[in-house]
Each structure stands twice: as structure tokens, then as C-alpha cells.
Structure 1
Amino acid sequence: MKARTVIHNARIVGSPNLKDLTIENGRFTSVTKAEEYITKSPQLHIVDVNGKVVLPGFVDVHMHLDKALTWPAIQNYSGTLYEAIWRFEDAQNQMDVNSITDRMTATILKAIKHGTTAIRTHLNYSTSSYLHNVIEAFQKVQSNLSNYITLEAVLMCPFDITKEVEKDIRWAINNGINLLGGAPHLSENPKTNLAKIFELAVSLDANIDLHIDESDDPTVKSLEDVCNWTIQTDYQGRVVAGHCTSLSAMGESEAHELMSLVRKAQIGIVTLPSSNLFLMGRQDSGLIRRGLTRVKQLLELNIPVAAASDNIQDPFHPYGKADLLQIALLTSYGAHLTTEEEMEKLMEMITYVPAELMNLQGYGIGVGNWADFVILDTTDIKMILSELPTSRETWRRGQPICQVSESIAWESKLKPTFI
């Protein structure tokens, strides 16, 4: 008989009481008020977390694993989106399967270390040879790490979707790609590119996850076309739009009208604060805009908004360590989400909301769900973003898979007397 595990004295969001989380066969079998005493037995493994915060495993719904860790080899001297695009595309055909696999693996391990248990990555496609290399690399990583993390891939469709490109896209869907995406607002013919992406997605019964309106220009408005196509094709609930930064540059009435259409189309929004703080506003002087979408107003309209890592140490964003708590903190700063209620909302934006956008089954701390979670070294939910706890323990399917512990050693002469 397999032993049951009890995570004893866990603090979870939304509960005033400490909880006992019982796990069996990789799933939660009960979530109850913490007992004062639990009788030990050979069939019961007790892990007393002493009031530490336990969150569902983080879900990073927008990454670029094939680009990650290419900085400083690939630089971006202007700090603009356009230079990042052309510099990466200029270098990508020099990348072989092994180098892509190694960088993907290293980035995923960073994410797991910080508490992430599911990732959706966008993968580039500008040439057929790179497409085949990147999919082979993704397949290897997915196979090697399937016991540790859930992985999903979005193919970024090119701007000119010819018959040959369409064949490649159909091949990709049959070889591990889950969704179709792209950045139609950057195309010379955004409406045509977007129409083709929807046409292909519908024919393949594939969900859609797009880069949309990553611009400071208020006239860049592909999001409206995305909404209309979503409604027209009955794809409500199957479309995600990332970035949407031009929404913040629009006038209030225009933006509100567009956000109402987003709600009607049931489109999920992903804000990418690290990359957009870095890339946007490069032409501004004096008061430089933050470059995020209208996070707070979208939330007020009950539109699902997730926060994600986007680019990690590449020409689009030279920093980052695949830590979604860091991303939540940047979102808090950038979107002015600072009340206690908003801090809890930020935790949802890196857990339950992206899990819903990824259609993860059996997710969350609840009976019958997979026991994928992270234990943080803090007993106060309000202090998570202040402390960004270094010590964390990541669990997957009811088993600990990574533990990070902070070690502090004071010199005896300098050690504070109150420690």
C-alpha cells in the first residue's frame, strides 16, 4: 500500500485557517482544517510546513524557450522590438538542435526551481530549416522533462503564409505544436495575415495565442480584428492575446469600447511586464510610458488577465530568471496593483488564470486535482512580493522535485545582537 502524504499546517490563499492537504496517487484527496495533532503511521508521510504559504504550481503562459539565454551573444543596442526581431532572425539559422535543446532545458529548470509546473512557449518560424530544428528540440525537451513539468507550444506563423508555409504549419501541428500564433500587427498586411491564421486554426481545430499590438502607437488596433474573427468563427474562449500595449496609448472611450469587445469575444489577455517595460517607450523623452496594457481596467471588466515571463536573457529582454514572483512584482509596480486584494489577484494571475487559459485539467489546490504546488518560505501572503522568498520547494504529482534553501551566515563580530 502506497503511503499517503499530508502537507500539514499549510497557509493557502483565501482561507483564514491553516490547512492539511492530503495527497494520494499524485492527487489531493482532502483539503481540511489543520489538525492540532496527526497520528503518525508507516502509511502516512507528514510534511509540517509550519504555516508557510502553499500556492498551486506557477503557470507561465507566455515564454520563448527557443530565444532564451541567447544574450549577450545576440545584442540589442537600440533596445527596440524591431532590432530584437531582426538580430534574432539573423542569428537563428546558425542554431542547431543541440544548442536549442540545451538552452530550452536550462530555462525550464530555472522555472521549475522557482515553482513553475506548466509552461506555454511560443516558437519562431521564419525558415523551414529552423522550424524543423526548433520542433525537434522541443520534442526532446518535452520527452526528457515530462515527469517534471507540463509543456505546450505555440507556432508563430510568418507574415506571408504561402502554400509551402501552410504545409509546414500542418506538419508542425502533427509533430507537437499545440496552438497557432503570430504577430499580425507587425505584418505589412495585418488583416490578411490574421485572417489566414484564423482560417488555418479553424481547419486544424487548434486554439490561438497571438502577439497583438505590441506598440506605443494608438492607431495599431489589430485587437479589434481579433475580437471580430473570434466571434465570427465561434472561437470564444479559445483565443489568447498577449501584450496589447497600444491599448494604453488610446483615448479612454476608444479603449473602453475595445475592452468591452474583448469581453464579448471571451478573449484572455496576457501582460508581459518585463519585456514591455524594456522595449516600449523607446521614442519617449521626459516622462517615459511604462508600456503595459490596461491591466487594472481589464480586471475591472472581469476579463481574464495573466502575467507571464515572455523573453528571458535574449535581445528582447536581457534580464530575467524564469521567476513568476518577480513577474508578479513587476506587474504590481507597472499596473499599480498594490492593495491587499490586488496582491491576491496577482497570485491568481500566475496560477489559476493562466491555468484556465492553458485549459489545464485537474489544476489547483482542491480535492481530485493534481498535487502540483510550491511551498514558499513565508507565513504571510501579504509579504510574498515584499520578500520574494528565495527558499522554495516545488512539488509535482505529489512528489518534491526541487528544493532551494537560502543560507545566511553572519560574521560573529558583525552579527546583530537580536538575532
Structure 2
Amino acid sequence: MVLDLPRSDRFALRAATLPAAVVPGFSGPTANGLCSADLIVAQGKIEAVLAAGMAPAGIEGPDLRHKMVWPCFADMHTHIDKGHIWDREPNRTGDFEGALAAVRTDREASWTADDVKTRMEFSLRCAYAHGTGLLRTHIDSLAPQHRISFEVFRDMRARWKDRIALQAVALFPIDALDDEAYFADLVSVVSASGALLGGVTYPMPDLDRRLDVLFRTASDNGLDLDLHVDETQDRNVLTLRAIAEAKLRNRFEGAVTVGHCCSLARQDDSTAEATIGKVAEAGLSVVSLPMCNMYLQDRQPGRTPRSRGITLLHELKAAGVPVAVASDNTRDPFYAYGDLDMVEVLREAVRIAHLDHPLDDAATVVTSLPADILKVPEAGRIAAGLSADLVIFNARSWSEFLSRPQADRIVMRNGMGIDRRLPDYCELDPLMRG
């Protein structure tokens, strides 16, 4: 798409089509969750959102002819520390156990600070070019990797602060907290990094005790939690309810996010309803990772998968639980594909999870909702006073938007178009073995 964006300090974007759900306070008419508006941009911020045709005639700026304008995206669950290792350590079985084994092998062989830094930088360049402005990454945190990768993350966050707001979560199996020396050191690194505690939960006889330790530690250190939960098709696995009960039992006041929750969709209706009720009572937030879960879940040789691997997004939303979708892994053993492009994530999520009919709120699951969950309420919205961090699409309707990859989009940051050239994969060649 070619669009002549003005270079002046104050200009208008006329006749834009906006997802109404991410335009707080807009009072104009809407249809199919979309509204038509004129945007006034001044000094890199949105000065006003007006009904279409109401921008003063004297302000220069293009007529968008009803092209869509979105806020920049919030990608709230990624793994940029392990991204882009597929070519040197692929998952040869394509299943979850194969992914764990391949990542373990690659981490032990190759995850130096320079290696992690190069791959993180590559991932962020992709996300930035696609229009992401806020990103949370989980960081593999078994010793000694936690000290290596969090140091890289802190440097990356500082260098990228004017382009992508970065958050990090320590990722470790919940049984690792039994190593008191390691866990104390991890908590100190997380606290010093302004990060979150995470973890992977799975059934074990004393899960409640371990959850209590995790919640008390988070509370004592003022840390929020973001957990990997029930990433399996085994209907006998349901630690999600235990997490909700632990939050209530410990009177934990911080934020708790749970990702995946795949096995919830395998439960009978009464069990699922009871669990969702407890999740709502505890005030958890849920993020689904549809592309990665469809890749890994229910994979068996020579058999077509029966299950989609996604959690019960519609039922959770109906219960008042905040739900979002995100990229998850990128070109690593957990997901062989992807490019940290939230348009792709949303397009696939709409199809996989039936986030349509109607599409009125679909835009929120990659913009305002994850921004709220990540406690950055100024992100993922278009409103007066906010930065003019916008993505302009050639599409004019939901059908046009969701039918093509929108590769010709324009990304604006602080009211100015950015260079959208994606990094070349050949830049990663020096990291590959053999």
C-alpha cells in the first residue's frame, strides 16, 4: 500500500475505519463493530478522534477512503529467548515431549549471552515491523541460564524502550522451587529485573504446598505471576482450578495470568463450568496460544488430530474472565513457524476459536485486553492524548482484513511511518551449527 503521509507536526487521517471496541468514548455510529472517523495527530500524539468528515478543512492529511486503522498490538505471551533455533535443533517428532528434549539439547549446547541476544534482537525486529508495541516474553530460567538470559533481557529492554515496551517472566518447572538456593537466587534476579515469576504446573501429590510457596514468595517480593498451565490433552490434568484456589487461599493481591489451559476443553461440562467459576472468582486472566497449541496438541503419527488444543475462550469470557491470544513460540521446537505477527495470530484465532459472528470485539484480544492484563492501559487503544502508534491497513472491512496477510500495512510510531523491512534469515546463519 502506498500512502502519502504528511511530515508536518499536525495532520489528519480522514475517513479511517476503526475497530470501535478499541476507541474509548467514541460516540459515532458503528456497524459490525467498526466505526468511521477522522484522526487528528499532533506532535506525535492523537489530538482528537472525530466523526468522519469532521476534521477541519485546513489540516493537511490523506483521505484513507475507509482503510482500517488499528492501534499497535500487544503480544502478551512469547518466548523470544528460544526463538529461531529450529534450523539447528528441530523437533523431529513434532510433539510436546520432542519439543522439551530439543530445547534442552539446544540450550545446553548453544545458549550463550551472544546467542540469546542475537535471536532476541531478530525477534523484536520482526515484531516491531509488524506493528507490535508491547510484548511479554517468558525466559527459560533453569540455572545457570536464568542469569545469562535475564542480563540479556535487561539490556534489550533498555535498547528497545522507545520501540517496544518489554516485560519478562521466569519460566521453570514448579518442582524446581524445592531447590531453595536456586529459587532464592532466581527470585533475586527476577526482582532486580522488574520481571514476573512464572512456572509450569502439572499434577503432583503436593501441588498445593508448592503453589503456596510460589504465591507467598510472589507476595513477599511484590511480584505478579504468569504461569504455563495444563498444556496437554489429558483430561485428568486440571491444575488450573488448584491455581485459582491457591490465589484465593493465600489472599494473593497481585495479578495472575494463566496460559494454554488446553485440558479445560477436554472436561465434561459440569467440571469445566465449576473450574471456570473458580477462575472468575479468583480474578485470573487467561491467554490462549492457538497456533502453537494446534501444532503440538493431539499429534500422533499417522493420525489426524481430533482436538484443536485451545481453551474454552467463549465460556471464560462469558464468565467475566479476561481472555487474550498471543504468538507464543516462533520457529523453535515448540512451534516450527510464525513471525511474531499479531495479524496472523488474530486471523488464525478467529478461524480456530470462532471469534466471529459477531466480530465486534475481536480486535480487543490482541490490543486493549492484553494491554490491560499487562497493566499498560494506555496501549492497544486509539484515543485523544495517547501516542499515535497506529497500523494502517489496505482492508476496509473485516472480510478484507481477515482474508489476506496485510503484508502491505503501514506502521506509525509517534505519528511517523517506520521502516517495515523485515530482517533477513541469513543474519542468523552464523548461529547455526554444522
Same fold (TM over 0.5): yes
Partner residue of 1:399?
A: 416
Structure 1 residue 8 corresponds to structure 2 residue 14: yes
Query: 1:6 deviation in Å?
Result: 2.6
SS of alignment partner, residue 364 of structure 2 = helix
The answer as to whether partners of 2:241 and 2:278 remain within 8 angstroms in 1 is yes
1:229 to 241, 246, 250: 246
Structure 1 residue 292 corresponds to structure 2 residue 306: no
Structure 1 residue 306 corresponds to structure 2 residue 321: no
Partner residue of 1:410?
A: none
SS of alignment partner, residue 418 of structure 2 = strand
2:373 to 354, 357, 378: 357
The answer as to whether partners of 1:377 and 1:390 remain within 8 angstroms in 2 is no
Structure 1 residue 35 corresponds to structure 2 residue 53: yes
Structure 1 residue 157 corresponds to structure 2 residue 172: yes
Partner residue of 1:170?
A: 187
Partner residue of 1:270?
A: 287
Query: 1:221 deviation in Å?
Result: 1.2
The answer as to whether partners of 2:95 and 2:297 remain within 8 angstroms in 1 is yes
What do residues 221-280 of structure 1 show as CA deviations (whole Å, max 9, x unaligned)? 111111112223334671110000000111111011101111111111101011110111
What do residues 19-75 of structure 1 show as CA deviations (whole Å, max 9, x unaligned)? 1222334432211113367444xxx66344332111111110000010100102111
2:394 to 377, 386, 399: 377
The answer as to whether partners of 1:117 and 1:150 remain within 8 angstroms in 2 is yes
1:212 to 220, 229, 234: 229
Partner residue of 1:65?
A: 80
Structure 1 window deviating more from structure 2 (181-190 vs 168-177): it is 181-190
Q: 2:150, 2:393 → 1: CA distance?
A: 34
Q: 1:216, 1:120 → 2: CA distance?
A: 26
Query: 1:13 deviation in Å?
Result: 1.3
Code of the aligned partner of 1:368: G
Code of the aligned partner of 1:335: A
Task: Determine what percentage of the aligned residue pairs are the same residue.
Answer: 27
Structure 1 residue 260 corresponds to structure 2 residue 277: yes
What pairs with 1:330-341 in structure 2 (closer than 5 Å)? 330-339=348-357, 341=358
Structure 1 residue 143 corresponds to structure 2 residue 143: no
Query: 1:117 deviation in Å?
Result: 0.9
Structure 1 window deviating more from structure 2 (310-319 vs 217-226): it is 217-226
Query: 1:283 deviation in Å?
Result: 4.3
1:241 to 254, 258, 267: 258
Cα distance 1:66–1:404, how it changes in 2: closer, same or farther (>3 A)?
Answer: closer
Structure 1 window deviating more from structure 2 (16-25 vs 72-81): it is 16-25
The answer as to whether partners of 2:233 and 2:262 remain within 8 angstroms in 1 is yes
Partner residue of 1:409?
A: none
SS of alignment partner, residue 50 of structure 1 = coil
SS of alignment partner, residue 168 of structure 2 = strand
Q: 1:233, 1:377 → 2: CA distance?
A: 50
Q: 2:205, 2:328 → 1: CA distance?
A: 24
Q: 1:80, 1:169 → 2: CA distance?
A: 29
Q: 2:75, 2:209 → 1: CA distance?
A: 30
Partner residue of 2:132?
A: 116
Q: 1:86, 1:186 → 2: CA distance?
A: 20
What do residues 157-176 of structure 1 show as CA deviations (whole Å, max 9, x unaligned)? 34321222233223222432
Partner residue of 1:81?
A: 96
Cα distance 1:38–1:104, how it changes in 2: closer, same or farther (>3 A)?
Answer: same
Q: 2:125, 2:193 → 1: CA distance?
A: 20
Structure 1 window deviating more from structure 2 (131-140 vs 67-76): it is 131-140
Cα distance 1:21–1:227, how it changes in 2: closer, same or farther (>3 A)?
Answer: same
Q: 1:123, 1:187 → 2: CA distance?
A: 24
RMSD, matched Cα: 2.2
Structure 1 residue 195 corresponds to structure 2 residue 212: yes
Query: 1:344 deviation in Å?
Result: 3.3
Q: 1:292, 1:379 → 2: CA distance?
A: 29
Code of the aligned partner of 2:96: L
Q: 2:189, 2:12 → 1: CA distance?
A: 42
Partner residue of 1:20?
A: 38
Q: 1:369, 1:37 → 2: CA distance?
A: 18
Cα distance 1:62–1:9, how it changes in 2: closer, same or farther (>3 A)?
Answer: same
Partner residue of 1:182?
A: 199
SS of alignment partner, residue 11 of structure 1 = strand
Code of the aligned partner of 1:156: L
The answer as to whether partners of 2:346 and 2:366 remain within 8 angstroms in 1 is yes
The answer as to whether partners of 1:122 and 1:156 remain within 8 angstroms in 2 is yes
The answer as to whether partners of 1:118 and 1:150 remain within 8 angstroms in 2 is yes
